[in-house]
Structure 1
Amino acid sequence: MSISSALSAGVSGLAANSTRLANISDNIANSGTYGYKRVDTEFESMVINQGRGGGLYTAGGVRAATSRDVNQRGNLVTTSNALDIAITGRGMLPVVTSSAVASGYSTPRDLMMTTTGSFDTDDQGYLRTNSGLVLMGWPANADGTIPAQPRDSATGLQPIRIDGSQTAADPTTRITLGINLPADAAVGGATGDAQEMNVEYFGNLGNSEQMAFTFTPDVSGTTGSRSNSWTMEVRDSAIIDDAATAADESLIGSYTLEFDSSATTGGRLMNVTTGSGGAFDPATGTLTVTGANGPMTIDLGRYGASQGITQLASDFSPANATKNGSPVGSLTALEIDENGYIRATYDTGFTRTLYQVPVVDVPNPNGLIALDNQTYKVSPDSGAFYLWNSGDGPTGEIAGYAREASTTDVAAELTDLIQTQRAYTSNAKVIQTVDEMLQETANLKR
């Protein structure tokens, strides 16, 4: 009968509003939780035996449906920690639990996602949060490049570990000679004294070595005439000559440099002839010699360029020789940039790329399975994940020194709380009224 269905509808109303109250309480409790996504509650009516006319109605009641609004983005909050990470738009960070790392992390199904996290190195060097989430990324090659990785699989991802990067060296690979050779020395009949200079460079182990350059002018011409020609010899101090032979084994390159003496481009490099060593490339103005620590690029400057090595009527000036690289340094800072590259800075000024953190995206974020600590896993409803470079495709950029705030609006939740309380009280009143009516019905027998 209808009176009984009214009782059932009232009970279902109590249950539905209890569910809504639980969700509201969860949202308010997590209003200060970084990365929290609020839970929405929707009521859905139930219809039982809805006929046409007849005047008889059976109440079906209501049921509550809950969903987490993962698509909604919280405001970014600036922090002072370089490895407080958030995403400026769509997408999530790949993480795993520290227990999964401790057990060897061998299965991609351990992969989880989170929108923000405050990471720091633990006692084993892993980047993890206080709640035990370890950040995942692709390791970089020694030169800082990231090898090609599968984008639809987590097999290339590794837990980010910094302990092996506490000290590092940056080997020298390029020396630039912005020097001047005295034009008056390359004259027939002159003394022909060689000009010498040493450039310090850093080897593969961070060791300090010397690259020696000797410039000998061509004075074989007619007395007083300029040859504008020099012989450059390159020697590597890391190569020890064999005393048993007369060969100069430290000599790794010999070149003839010819300079222009015209009115417009006088004193600029005009031609380089290779005697030994790598060939000179006019397009880049460089040559490559092979030393004890591998190939070394020497930048002389392009033909006719005002930058690089010159021959002018001035003193020999070796002070403008520069190089890249640095000796062994200790780690001083870790940062992540907008492209997701984690870079280490050392006290020698050297910066090295260690990992790239991709941004994880799924077709339906609201279909993800919510877990503890604001983490999520893929489900059939969310669809398969894809690993994007930060800022590519539909994803936002990775931001350091930032956390994503909770999406809870406390004022709106308090309004919902009042509405829920009133609805719950009203449903309780319905049950009370039905109880009284049933009591009156029972009293009819007396």
Structure 2
Amino acid sequence: MSISSSLNAGVAGLSANATRLATISDNIANSGTYGYKRVTTDFENFVINQARGSGVYSAGGVRASTSRLIDEHGPLVGTGNALDIAVAGRGMLPVTTAVSLNATTGERPLMMTTTGAFRPDADGILRTESGLVLLGWPANADGSIPILPRDTIAGLQPVVINANQTAGDPTTSMNLGLNLPATETEAGRSGSTLPLSIEYFGNLGTSETLDISFTPTIPGTGSSNTWTMVIRDSAQGGAVIGDYTLVFDSTRANGGTLASVTVNAGGAYNATTGNLDLTVAGGPITMHIGSLGDANGLTQLSDSFAPTSITKDGSPVGNLTAVEVDDNGYITATYDTGFTRRIYQIPVVDVPNPNGLISLNNQTFQVSPDSGSFFLWNAGDGPTGPIQGYAREGSATDVAAELTALIQTQRAYSSNAKVIQTVDEMLQETTNIKR
């Protein structure tokens, strides 16, 4: 009967608008929640009678369906903490629950979030107040990221940063730029040895020295332009690790630059790169003295002994002072000695259909059959956006739009209630016919 179907349609309308009211209430309540993704309600009609020209119509009513717009992004809000992290674009941060870290069976669940305010806990593990633990790939000792599978979480580990962490960086290369006095290789000179000491850092952060001596070759007449360079390592008790004969060019075109380097003992010399391959107590060190004819390496000019450019890598042991995250997701630690070290990389998780993800508490999501399988990207590669430190993603709720929808929902709800009231009055009239 059409009048009964009208009653059912009115009830369905009340239910559908009540659902829409619930989503609007949720959106407004979370208008200040970082990383919140708003929920929308769509109405779909039911058709009961499809016969054309039957002269009878039955109201099917309406059904409400809700969906969370996970692919919508809220505005980025700047903060004062380097470990407030957000993804500026598509993709999410990999996280897991703090409870799962102590689990003895099963793997940690992979969860995703677009933003988080991470802080080290008592064990140095980066986590949010709600218990979300940040996951990343740990870097090797040299700062490189190992090649790991990107379609599983096998290589992901909780990011650990200890405030009392100390680290040192051993010296692996140095540049020796200095000028030797050309007048010291002339006949009649004393042939005094010129000393030079260069500090380097061992594998355990200890301070060691390379003691280098330059002894001129004194000819009977004229100038030899020849020096003997001996390198000793303090970490090996002053043992000789390199003995070289240096001959300098005296022509107009390349005067003062290296003409030849003869290895008497120790590591080899590469004439193309200008490097000496030395071996100290802690391992190999590459020392750049300049290639043949290179004016930026060792030179022999005028009458002065002057170091012009002596540089090296490495640093002594230092205390952690700051941690920052760059656009590529690399976490870099800075120490009070001026040494910086890459310690983790945070990948960005992406799925083919973000709106198909399962929504969980605390603005987190999990993979579902509708979302498709996940893939771990380098931040900024492929479809993903860069990672921003000192930032949080704001709520995707537009309060003005939600209030407008609230007024519309209120009117629609009242109209459906009016339909039910009208049907009730009509049924009452039908009942009165019998009297």
Contact 2:94/2:349 (<8 A) preserved: yes
Whether 1:314 and 2:303 are equivalent positions in the alignment is: yes
Provide structure 2 residue ranges, at least 5 long, that are not aligned to the other structure.
none
Indicate whether 1:228 and 2:225 are aligned. yes
Report Cα offsets for 1:168-227 as digits up to 9, x if no partner: 0111112211111111111234221111111111111111111110111111x223x111
1:106 deviates by 5.5
Q: How far apart, CA to CA, are the structure 2 residues paired with 1:356 and 1:77?
A: 23
Sequence identity (%): 64
Q: What is the root-mean-square deviation in Å for CA atoms of aligned residues?
A: 1.4
Provide the residue aligned with 2:252 in structure 1: 263
Comparing 153-162 with 49-58, greater Cα deviation is found at: 49-58
Corresponding position of 2:92: 92
For the residue of structure 2 that corresponds to 1:222, the secondary structure is coil
Calculate the TM-score normalised by the size of structure 2: 0.97
| Aligned pair partner of 1:431 in 410, 413, 420 | 420
**Pair 1:8 & 2:17 matched:** no
Structure 1 residues 171 and 165: alpha-carbon distance in aligned structure 2, compared to 1, 3 A threshold: farther
Shift of 1:26: 0.4
Is the deviation greater in 173-182 or in 368-377?
173-182
* Matches for 1:364-379 after TM superposition, within 5 Å: 364-379=353-368
Distance 2:371 2:411 in 1: 36
Deviation string for 1:395-433 (max 9, x for gaps)? 111111111111100000000000000000111111111
Q: Partner letter of residue 403 of structure 1?
A: R
The amino acid that maps onto 1:97 is T
Match of 1:193 in 2: 192
Shift of 1:165: 7.3
For residues 14-413 of structure 1, what are the structure 2 equivalents within 5 Å?
14-103=14-103, 107=107, 110-163=109-162, 166-219=165-218, 221-223=219-221, 225-240=222-237, 250-318=239-307, 320-413=309-402
Structure 1: segments with no counterpart, 5+ residues: 242-249
Query: CA offset at residue 84 of structure 1?
Result: 1.0
Q: Structure 1 residues 176, 411: closer, same or farther in 2, change over 3 A?
A: same
User: Separation in 2 of the partners of 1:347 and 1:257?
Assistant: 39
Q: 1:272, CA displacement in angstroms?
A: 1.3
In 2 relative to 1, CA 327–252 (structure 1 residues): closer, same or farther, beyond 3 Å? same
1:178 counterpart SS class: strand
Query: Bigger CA drift: 265-274 or 343-352?
Result: 265-274
Q: Per-residue deviation at 1:104? A: 5.8
- Conserved 8 A contact 2:77-2:394: yes
SS of equivalent residue, structure 2 residue 235: coil
1:52–1:361 distance in 2 versus 1, CA, 3 Å: same
The residue type equivalent to 2:310 in the other structure is A
Determine helix, strand or coil for the equivalent of 2:154: coil
Q: 1:314, CA displacement in angstroms? A: 2.5
C-alpha contact 2:163 2:320 (8 A) present in aligned 1: no
Change (3 A) 1:38 1:385: same
Q: In the alignment, what sits opposite 2:403?
A: 414
Rounded to whole Å, the distance in 1 between the matches of 2:255 and 2:308 is 21
Q: Deviations over 1:376-404 (max 9, x none)?
A: 00000000000111111111111111111
CA deviation profile, 1:147-168 (whole Å, cap 9, x unmatched): 1010111111111111297110
Matched to 2:391, the amino acid is A
Q: In structure 1, what residue type is equivalent to 2:275?
A: T
Q: String of CA shifts for 1:215-265, please: whole Å, max 9, x gaps.
A: 11111x223x11111111111101136xxxxxxxx1111111111111122
Give the letter for the 1:404 counterpart: E
1:104–1:297 CA distance, 2 compared to 1 (3 A): farther
Q: Contact conserved, 1:188 with 1:218, CA < 8 A, in 2?
A: no
Compute the displacement of 1:20 (Å).
0.3
Q: What is the CA-CA distance between 1:36 and the residue it aligns to? A: 0.7
- The answer (yes or no) to whether the contact 1:85–1:403 under 8 Å persists in 2 is yes
Amino acid at match of 1:367: G
Secondary structure at 1:61's aligned position in 2? Answer: strand
Q: Residues 179 and 308 of structure 2 are in contact (CA less than 8 Å); yes or no, is this contact kept in structure 1?
A: no
Q: What CA deviation, in whole Å up to 9, does each residue of 1:5-34 have, x standing for no partner? A: 111101110110000000000001111111
Give per-residue Cα distances to partners, 1:69-109, cap 9 Å, x unaligned: 1111111111111111111211111001111123268615x
- Give the distance between the partners of 2:273 and 2:69, measured in 1 at CA: 55
> Quick one: distance in 1 between partners of 2:303 and 2:137?
53
Give the deviation of 1:306 after TM superposition: 1.8
Checking the alignment, whether the CA contact within 8 Å between 2:333 and 2:340 is kept in structure 1 is yes
CA contact 1:180–1:314 (8 Å) conserved in 2: no
- Note if contact 2:136-2:159 (Cα within 8 Å) is conserved in structure 1: yes
CA distance, structure 1, for counterparts of residue 418 and residue 143 of structure 2: 69
- Mean Cα deviation higher: 295-304 or 382-391: 295-304
Q: Is the 8 A contact 2:93 2:347 kept in 1?
A: yes
The amino acid across from 2:50 in the alignment is Q
Kept in 1, the 8 Å contact 2:71–2:355? The answer is yes
- Contact 1:177/1:299 (8 A) holds in 2: yes
**Aligned partners of 2:23 and 2:75: how far apart in 1?**
21
CA distances 1:97-151 after superposition (whole Å, capped 9, x unpaired): 111123268615x011111111111111011111111111101000000010101
Q: Give the letter aligned to residue 184 of structure 2.
A: A
Q: In structure 1, how many angstroms separate the alpha carbons of the residues matched to 2:413 and 2:265? A: 92
